[in-house]
Structure 1
Amino acid sequence: MPGISWSSRFDDLSRRSRLIVYYLFGLTALVLTYTVIYNTGMSVLEGREQSIFRSFQTVTETMTTTGYGADSPWESPWMNLFMVFMQLSGIGVGFFTLRVIVIPLFTGAEVDLDSRLSPKNDHVIICEYDRDSAVLLDELEQLGIDYVLISSDEEEAIDLSDEGYSAIHGSPQDAATFERASIGGARAVITDADEATVDTILTVRSVRPDVEVITLTDDGSLRDVLLATGADSVLSPRAVLGQRLARKAMSLYTSELHDTVGVAEGLEVTEISVSRDSPLDGTSIRNSRIRERTGANVVGAWIDGELQLPPDPDAVIGPNTVLLVSGDHDALEELGETARPVRSRGRDEGVVIAGLGEVGRAALSVVEGESDVSATTVDIVEGPNTDVVGDASSRDTLREVGVEDAGVILVCVPNDSTALLTTVLARSLNPDIEILVRMSDARATTKALRAGADYVLSVPRISARMVARELRGEEVLGAGSQIRIDRVPAEPFAGKTLADSGIYEKTGCRVIAVEHGGELTTSLDPDRTIAAEDRLVIVGTDEAVQRFLATFDVSPRPLAG
């Protein structure tokens, strides 16, 4: 990008990469110096004139011990001594090459992960993150937040480092590990070390008392203990996930909007799912006349588990379609009432909760807060809140728990395969039931939608979004959403039109607004010329936005302000 010097790019290289650059420059300088000395010696001491290229060939043959060509033997003692010196230095260079470059690249030899780190400052240190590290690290990279991941599992640390992530091996209960991770310049420490979390917090405070500590836990009862130990904030992703699933279920009976993002004054973006009793069900995007009816713009749509951005005008809206829309709050509320009309709940229609772990218990607490909603629970382990003991992925168990007459089922089981089977069986027993699913693997979200789920949240994605919100102070869409919004500089597209920018073709992202001179324009002309000082508001999947940031080498900026 313009304005970035070669020196700053070099400073951003890891220590290992800089060592390789130094090595290559040094080797080149050494060979060229030997070539000049040898060519001069052959002329002055041996009385043999030859081209500099012939001397370069002889020096290369000598240093690599592949032969000496037709130049040998040499008569002068000084030339013989020089040739011996070149041979010895060539052997030394060979050993150095093997140790520093060849062996780490082509064998499983031990490597120094610390040497791969680029210089760190104003970064985040992450300890023992076990909720799919790549999802969180990708989230931080998208936000332009530098980081170091500490893992006590050496194999995991090496695998992450080999994939290009900034990871080192060490114990987060060892102060020296934090020193290696440059805690002196860190902005925050994130710890997810299970039973070792308290030990980790105390270690961090002993090294640097003033650094912000963000703690993740799956046991909400430990919140006060962790805060008293020294954590600045405590996040419980699974509890939040369960609460969001339950609130989403309760929203079936209200027109209230959830998880809207304010891009600017008068412009919000949100996802709205379409229910089976909606007048939009069965209509095409083109014939839905959503903009004419409500004033909201359809930016994209999840149809049959696949994102269309922008959506095909002839694509048919179904009961599992999720519309990504933008507009003012009133327009989005009106669309929400159209897409999800408030349902009249039958006398016996209730909510089934499958799985009473941390997610299921959190969901149950929300449902129980609704005085007129009956909840029936099923779990493989008997407990105080378990109505039916059994396997939720069994057809007989689902019948026993009342899925055939229920209005909603929250699938909160921890195993993804079990969750998918439960989803399929619930849909077969009750085609009209609303199915909301928790997934442990972010990559399984699409599978759940294809299996018949109406709404899906994944633990890794919601965890990463919660951490990002703590660090950045804003949401980029709902924590469980598979869509994100970012505001990015427009310098790479200066002088081009929106149509010619290639943003969608190269990345899969879509521009939904352009900010110029402090004013935000949402009605975009494809032939509008982009100015260098503009800022673009883009929307896309997490992967698409990551691809955009990498392709055009830009960093996102806060949506607010």
Structure 2
Amino acid sequence: MEKQIEGGLPTKASDELEDHIIICGYNEMVESLVNELEDPDIPFIVIDDNEHHIRTLHRDEIECLFGDPTDEDVLINSRICKAKLLIANCSDEKNANIILSAKERCDINIIAIVNDKNNTHYLKYAGANRVISPKALLGSFIGRKALAPLNDRIIGSTHFMTGLEIAEFPIYPFSPLLKKSLKELTIGKSTGANIVGIWKNGTLSLNPGSDEIIKRNSILLAVGNKEQLRKLKRLTHQNKGILMHEELEYTENHVIVLGYGDVGRRVVKRLTKAGVLFVVIDTDERVFQDADFSYMVGDAASESVLKKAGVKHASTVIMIMEDDSDIIFSILVTRRQNPNCVILARANNIQSIDKMYKAGSDYVASLTIISGQMLGRITTLPYDQPLREETMMMYEGIEIEIYTVSSTSALVGKTLIELDLNNSIGLAVIGIRIDDVAISDIDPAITITEGMTLAVLGNEEQIEQFRKRFVR
């Protein structure tokens, strides 16, 4: 890259860069998006006018460009006419300027990130092909998590081999699985599904041992076909269903939603559609001007307000306020008042995730991580293809690698016991395909042969270690 004479900051993309993605504006969400793009080796460049951001990216050998993304010359230097997509990720006003400047140069596909959903149509009018609200994405994600126990569908599962899917299953109050070991439960025998991991306080443990105890904050990661996963899902549910009727009262087994911004609106939309009994709490009375559901005006972190909302008898409490400190305090109050309810929390800052789990949340959804990951998937879709939320669900920080064993691989002739991938690298083999037949209930004594296809599960670092050692 060419450098500025003063400061050594890159101001022009390399001449070889083409068919790439231009990202205008850097923040934590883009940091997550960058991780998504680097894995499948999708070329991209980040434009930002913050010197610190560019120096950090340049130091980490991430292609970047220092300058104002509304400036046509800066866009030209990013090789915009050779790019396949531009993502406008600044303020709504600046995004409109970026879109107009980009369209002036060439007819490039543009995704605009909108901060205020009311500005969506303005960004479309400026020329954006898609307008994405990270808060709306997060709201859909949390809404789907909240509704998981209400139906028999497997929500958010990922298909990775013929007939095999992987899905998360939170453990709900009164589940018959609670306080029992995997050995006692014999889940594989009763459902056919295979437990490949357990989330606890935001940490994933792969290949859990038979003595692993299922607890209230456990989230099972399981592999199987649709019917096997349905059977497992029924076991993870509470025996007492969430009360569902049309009366606007909240006395027992209802859902409490704390916060009614963009995220809250999307959650409420899903709860309403499902016919779930719920109450919403927000400090701003104006947000309820057109509300046709039960709500309260008050501080969602207040013990007295939560008591009035029936927190002691709620089945689920969804915390999606703007302030992480308020959310953490609300988790503490809620967990003390109701040890058995399910708590779903939104983390606005990545640094708050661990604190929320320690405070007592069952599941924490990071705004920046989830929106960055979902945006990574959206960038691979044709701009005119409608978005289906099912295709955007995923597991934070976890990847699945599909690998066909070659004759030169160090895997050939070894059993899974000998390889001991769980202890040596930290990943799990979750599926094997032999002669077009995929299996998830894998005998660890099986010998790996040329032509087999393995599906391995782990984080980015673990997958990279696997590639270096075995992909040849």
TM interval, short-chain normalised = 0.7 to 0.9
CA, structure 1 residues 461+305, in 2 after alignment: closer, same or farther (shift >3 Å)?
closer
Residue 450 of structure 2 is aligned to residue 508 of structure 1: no
Aligned partners of 1:129 and 1:191 also within 8 Å? no
Instruction: For 2:159, give the aligned amino acid.
Output: G
Deviation of 1:183 after TM superposition, in Å, equals 2.3
CA, structure 1 residues 230+522, in 2 after alignment: closer, same or farther (shift >3 Å)?
same
CA, structure 1 residues 298+222, in 2 after alignment: closer, same or farther (shift >3 Å)?
same
Kindly provide the CA deviation profile for residues 458-515 of structure 1, in whole angstroms up to 9, marking residues without a partner as x: 1112212221222334988824645332324656545362445564445422121234
The whole-number CA distance in structure 1 between the counterparts of 2:133 and 2:395 is 14
Of 488, 495, 519, which residue of structure 1 is paired with 2:412? 495
Aligned partners of 1:218 and 1:239 also within 8 Å? no
Aligned partners of 2:32 and 2:372 also within 8 Å? yes
Deviation of 1:415 after TM superposition, in Å, equals 2.1
The whole-number CA distance in structure 2 between the counterparts of 1:383 and 1:536 is 54
Kindly provide the CA deviation profile for residues 301-329 of structure 1, in whole angstroms up to 9, marking residues without a partner as x: 11344321011321110122110001010
* TM-score normalised by structure 2 residue count: 0.85
- SS of match in other structure, 1:369: helix
Unaligned runs of 5+ in 2: 244-249, 290-294, 382-387
Of 411, 423, 434, which residue of structure 1 is paired with 2:331? 423
Aligned partners of 1:438 and 1:459 also within 8 Å? yes
* Greater relative contact order (Cα < 8 A, sep 6+): 2
Corresponding position of 1:285: 182
- SS of match in other structure, 2:240: coil
Counterparts in 2 of 1:156-235, with a 5 A limit? 156-194=53-91, 195-209=93-107, 211-235=108-132
The whole-number CA distance in structure 2 between the counterparts of 1:255 and 1:454 is 21
The whole-number CA distance in structure 1 between the counterparts of 2:223 and 2:180 is 20
The whole-number CA distance in structure 2 between the counterparts of 1:457 and 1:196 is 28
The whole-number CA distance in structure 2 between the counterparts of 1:120 and 1:274 is 47
Residue 375 of structure 2 is aligned to residue 467 of structure 1: yes
CA, structure 1 residues 370+162, in 2 after alignment: closer, same or farther (shift >3 Å)?
same
- SS of match in other structure, 2:155: coil
CA, structure 1 residues 488+546, in 2 after alignment: closer, same or farther (shift >3 Å)?
farther
Counterparts in 2 of 1:361-380, with a 5 A limit? 361-371=265-275, 373-380=276-283
Aligned partners of 1:442 and 1:460 also within 8 Å? yes
More strand by share: 2
CA, structure 1 residues 446+483, in 2 after alignment: closer, same or farther (shift >3 Å)?
farther
Residue 267 of structure 2 is aligned to residue 357 of structure 1: no
Unaligned runs of 5+ in 1: 1-13, 17-98, 101-108, 557-561
Aligned partners of 1:377 and 1:385 also within 8 Å? no
Of 325, 330, 345, which residue of structure 1 is paired with 2:222? 325
Of 26, 43, 54, which residue of structure 2 is paired with 1:146? 43
Q: Which moved more, 1:411-420 or 1:389-398?
A: 389-398
The whole-number CA distance in structure 1 between the counterparts of 2:373 and 2:307 is 36
Instruction: For 1:514, give the aligned amino acid.
Output: I
The whole-number CA distance in structure 1 between the counterparts of 2:153 and 2:258 is 25
Aligned partners of 1:424 and 1:451 also within 8 Å? yes
How many correspondences in the alignment? 448
Corresponding position of 2:136: 239
CA, structure 1 residues 432+336, in 2 after alignment: closer, same or farther (shift >3 Å)?
same
Aligned partners of 1:174 and 1:203 also within 8 Å? yes
The whole-number CA distance in structure 2 between the counterparts of 1:110 and 1:522 is 55
Corresponding position of 1:456: 364
The whole-number CA distance in structure 1 between the counterparts of 2:376 and 2:44 is 12
Residue 467 of structure 2 is aligned to residue 552 of structure 1: yes
> What is the RMSD of the two structures over their aligned residues, measured on CA atoms?
3.1
The whole-number CA distance in structure 2 between the counterparts of 1:134 and 1:256 is 33
Corresponding position of 2:320: 412
The whole-number CA distance in structure 1 between the counterparts of 2:351 and 2:425 is 19
The whole-number CA distance in structure 1 between the counterparts of 2:329 and 2:30 is 26
Deviation of 1:149 after TM superposition, in Å, equals 0.9
Corresponding position of 1:398: 306
The whole-number CA distance in structure 1 between the counterparts of 2:398 and 2:446 is 25
- SS of match in other structure, 1:132: helix
Q: How many percent identity over aligned positions? A: 26
